[in-house]
Structure 1
Amino acid sequence: MGPETVLDLGRDALWLAVLLAGPLLGAALAVGLFIGVIQAATQIQEMTLSFIPKLLALVVTLFVIGPWMLRILTTFAQRLFMDIPGLVG
C-alpha cells in the first residue's frame, strides 16, 4: 500500500464526513439564522432561545435524511472492507 492509496482513502473519508455533516449543519444554520432574525426584530436577546428549535430541526433532518446517510456510510464501509485484501497484499 503506497502513499497515494493512503491519501485516496483519507480524502474519501474526509469527503464522506463533509457529505454526512452538510445537511445537519445546513439545517442548524438555517434555523439559527431564522431565529436570529426574529430575535433581532423583537429585541429579545436570549441565547438559549434558539437551542430548542435547532435541536428539533436536527432531529427532523436526521429522520428525513437518516436512511440516506446510513446507506452512504454502509456503502463506504463495505467498499473499504472489500478492498482490504488488495490493500494489504
Structure 2
Amino acid sequence: MNEADALDIMQAAIWTILVASGPAVMTAMVVGVAIAILQALTQVQEMTLTFVPKIVSIMIAIGVSAPFIGAQINLFSNLVFSRVQSGF
C-alpha cells in the first residue's frame, strides 16, 4: 500500500461520511431555519423550543433514509475489502 492508495481510501471515506450524513444534516438545517423564522415572527425566544422538533425530525429522517445510508456504507466497505483482497 502506497500513499496514493491511502489517499484514495481516505477520499472515499470522507465522501461516504458526507453523503451518509447529508439527510440528517439537511433536515436539521431546514427545521432549524423554520423554527427560527417562527420564533422571529412570534417573538418567542425559548431555547428549548428548537430541540424537540429537531430531534424528532432527525430521527424520522434517519429512519426514512436508513436504506440509503446503509447502501453508502456497504459500497465503501466493498471498496475497501476489494482493495484489501486484491493486495492494493
TM-score by length of 2: 0.92
The C-alpha deviation readout for 1:20-53, integer Å capped at 9, x for no partner, is 1111100000000000000010000011101010
Residue identity (%): 31
Higher RCO (Cα < 8 Å, 6 or more apart): 2
Distance 1:79 1:3 in 2: 17
What does residue 83 of structure 1 align with?
83
With structure 1 as the length reference, what TM-score do the two structures score? 0.91
Q: Which residues of structure 2 form unaligned runs of 5+? A: none
TM-superposed CA distance for 1:85, in Å, is 2.9
How far is the alpha carbon of 1:77 from its aligned partner? 0.9
Unaligned 5+ segments in structure 1 are: none
**Number of aligned pairs?**
88
- Matched letter for residue 80 of structure 2: L
Residue of structure 1 equivalent to 2:64: 64
Distance (whole Å) between structure 1 residues aligned to residue 78 and residue 85 of structure 2: 13
Moved over 2 A (4+): 85-88
